[in-house]
Amino acid sequence: MNDISQFTAGITILEVTYVVASVLFIIGLKMLSHPLTARRGNTLAAFGMGFAIVATIVFHRKDGEPIKNIPLILSAIAIGTAIGWIIARKVKMTAMPQLVSFFNGMGGAAAALISMMEFPHVSPELIAESGMANGEVLAILLGLLIGTVSWAGSMIAYGKLDGWIGDLRVKAMKYVNLAILAVLIGMIVFIMTRDVQASSELTPLIYIMFAIAVVYGVLFVMPIGGADMPVVISLLNSFTGVAAAMGGFLYNNQAMLTGGILVGSAGTILTVLMCKAMNRSLLNVIVGVFGGGGESNIVAGGSIKEISLSDAAVLLSYSKKVVIVPGYGLAVAQAQHICHELDKLLEEKGVEVKYAIHPVAGRMPGHMNVLLAEADVPYEQLIESDEINPDLPNTDVLVVIGANDVVNPAAEDDPSSPIFGMPIIKARDARNIIVMKRGMGKGYAAIENLLFFNDKTRMLFGDAKGTLQNLVNEVKSL
């Protein structure tokens, strides 16, 4: 009984708060697994984070002293909250991947700044006892390295997604990145094996390490293009989580540690799953040679065949099974609501309608799921590509709306193609194919789509939103 009393007496209100916040994080993450509960899960996790922040400000003590400069802290929180709220409210769905990259980068930058600020203040008593080779120094150095790479890489990803940064593909890039990574790891070992009286003596090395990590973060993402970007965004997100977890170790903050571990592990699992879905190597992601370059060696043959709105409406209305393949073009046109209206009209006519979702359709993981959930498309209608592919030969009409690389047969037919080996939605297996596009522009991988020249394919040119609206009107009139 005395042991229990001593144990409970040692537990502070702050520690209990961190445990509660951690539980809220876990429950919130679990609820994110389904669209019907995702919004509540996000709110619950956000409340947990706010709860932990308030508790830290109120109850945290260091050497018996409360946190200082509280007005400055509250002002920073208010300014950050206002900026984040405004950006999130005004961002367009098409710019959501850029927003994810930007916010993720800010998390990495915060972790890196924490490390740079804390390194000179490592306890001299701890250094005298165990030298620089201790857990605190290791957490600081890993937080600096991983956080900086996440920040620099996320900013480059933001620019590439926004279209103002191009690809930089050099054959030797793989070896350059491996060499830089080896230098960074060597610096960590070098710093931790120094015999110094105070960590501040090695502070200049910290800034050099930061600069090299920035270079690695930039070069890590620069070669990546095409349909591979969502995987890199997922990996960078996991980096930020790990960097935040290092901060949790550093401050003995259970909420920060739990949050970082959850983000890091979830991002890593998602990255591995997406690499598997795209037949890619995780090692190539890490060294920054993920994604191919160059043009396909296969020359498109045949001719482009168009279909009229009335013929498309008749074909769809008298089908038994229709599959819609959404892509980035659907997001650009903000046509998800009209698309859902079309599928409801077809279902009223007895047509079975499903959506084929490719893991990397769009510009970030789950982009199409988020887009269609916004339009209240039932989750049961969203079928992953590997599940729906076997059923495509029995599909009367497959409608491609703004998708390109994820339905390109070059991924299976052309070993020289940048997307070769990437599992695709096997659109050409359907009995009839309708492709909605503005024109004959190439996809994000900048290669010709051989599907457009298939004998079963008919092109329906025009803006996705206007074309879908006209198609809805035609279906209504039948």
Model confidence over 187-201: pLDDT tens digits? 999 999 998 888 989
Mean pLDDT, range 294-310, rounded to an integer = 69
Q: What pLDDT is attached to residue 254? A: 87
Give pLDDT tens digits for 49-88: 999 999 988 888 776 788 888 899 999 999 999 999 999 8
Q: Is 471 exposed, middle or buried (0-12, 13-18, 19+ CB in 10 A)?
A: buried
Give yes or no for residue 143 having a pLDDT over 90.
yes
The yes-or-no verdict on residue 34 having pLDDT over 50 is yes
| pLDDT of residue 292 exceeding 50 | no
Instruction: Grade residue 5 by pLDDT with cuts at 50, 70 and 90.
Output: very low
Residue 44 vs residues 1, 259, 350: alpha-carbon distances, Å: 36, 13, 40
Place of tokens 């409970």: 8
Q: Are 219 and 178 in contact (CB under 8 A)?
A: no
8 Å CB contact between 397 and 434: yes
More confident: 278 or 378: 378
Superfamily of 309-477 according to CATH:
TPP-binding domain (3.40.50.1220)
**Is residue 240 over pLDDT 70?**
yes
Q: What is the pLDDT of residue 114?
A: 94
User: How far is the C-alpha of 458 from the C-alpha of 436, rounded, in Å?
Assistant: 9
According to the model, what pLDDT value does residue 279 have?
67
Interatomic CA distance for residues 265 and 390, integer angstroms: 32
Q: Enumerate the active-site residues.
A: 405
Q: What is the pLDDT of residue 301?
A: 56
Say what the pLDDT of residue 91 is. Answer: 84
CA separation for the pair 173, 154 (Å, rounded): 19
- Residue 328 contacts residue 262 (beta carbons within 8 Å): no
135-162 vs 229-251: helix crossing angle, rounded to 10:
150
Only one residue has tokens 């144990």, namely: 7
Q: Helices marked H in 91-134 — which ranges?
A: 96-118, 124-130
Provide the mean pLDDT of the chain: 86
Lowest model confidence (mean pLDDT) among 160-164, 247-251, 280-284, 345-349:
280-284
Q: Where are the domains of the chain?
A: 11-90, 95-293, 309-477
- Cα separation, 100 vs 295, in Å, equals 30
